[in-house]
Chains A and B, each alone.
Chain A
Amino acid sequence: GAGVSQSPRYKVAKRGQDVALRCDPISGHVSLFWYQQALGQGPEFLTYFQNEAQLDKSGLPSDRFFAERPEGSVSTLKIQRTQQEDSAVYLCASSTERQGAPPYEQYFGPGTRLTVT
């Protein structure tokens, strides 16, 4: 594929609804990251996968947030019972290298803009 793709690009949810955001990384990329970016801020780390293993989920803000990558390629970030403070752009990034290898370049997707009303 050409790059990292994310869907949907825009999502409006009513407070309390569940949402699922999809990330298609670059084919063959081992590492996959999710970030949350509030308006006018830098991306904030949420979670990291190496293949299908979720190695770090320390950035997930609450137990309403859940991410999976069952086959080591496509990943889904799920937010249950959405709240207004969840409104943000959710970015996915992938990389060829394993975490712990020499520093690596991350390729970002265009993001999903989530608005909770």
Chain B
Amino acid sequence: QQPVQSPQAVILREGEDAVINCSSSKALYSVHWYRQKHGEAPVFLMILLKGGEQKGHEKISASFNEKKQQSSLYLTASQLSYSGTYFCGTEYHYGQNFVFGPGTRLSVLP
């Protein structure tokens, strides 16, 4: 069952912040975040485990809310290089292959 991502697309000015959400109707074991630029391979950002704490990666961080079965990706002081499509991948059971969401297209303008 595919997770839902919101928003579908967002346009920012350089230096602005953004939040991308990934939610599921089923209990999640883990959430993975990837960024894909046009015509390129998805690149790993971070993994969040059920019961784990918020993770960070430079100015990009994420949280995992077990009650809501939702993960949020926070992009702070966005840079032009942040542009791309962000996918969450959800794992419903330990060791199960995960399911990617439809993606959120982020455009950062100068």
Binding site for B on A (CB under 8 A): 4, 33, 35, 40-45, 48, 56, 58-59, 91, 99-111
Q: Enumerate 25 A-B pairs (CB-CB under 8 Å) in ascending A order.
A: A4-B41, A33-B97, A40-B103, A41-B102, A42-B101, A42-B103, A43-B87, A44-B100, A45-B97, A58-B97, A59-B97, A91-B42, A99-B97, A103-B29, A103-B32, A103-B91, A104-B47, A105-B32, A105-B44, A106-B32, A108-B34, A108-B41, A108-B43, A109-B41, A110-B41
Note all chain B residues with C-beta closer than 8 A to A91: 41-42
For residue B39, which residue of chain A has the nearest CB?
A110
Q: Interface majority SS on A: helix, strand, loop or mixed?
A: loop
Note all chain B residues with C-beta closer than 8 A to A56: 97
Q: Are A103 and B49 in contact (CB under 8 A)?
A: yes
B40-81 toward A: CB 8 Å interface, digit per residue (1/0)? 111110010100000000000000000000000000000000
Binding site for A on B (CB under 8 A): 2, 29-30, 32, 34, 40-44, 47, 49, 87, 89, 91, 94-95, 97-103
CA A59 – CA B99 in complex, angstroms? 11
Note all chain A residues with C-beta closer than 8 A to B43: 108
CA A102 – CA B49 in complex, angstroms? 9
CB-CB under 8 A for A45 and B99, given A91-B41, A107-B44, A109-B41: yes
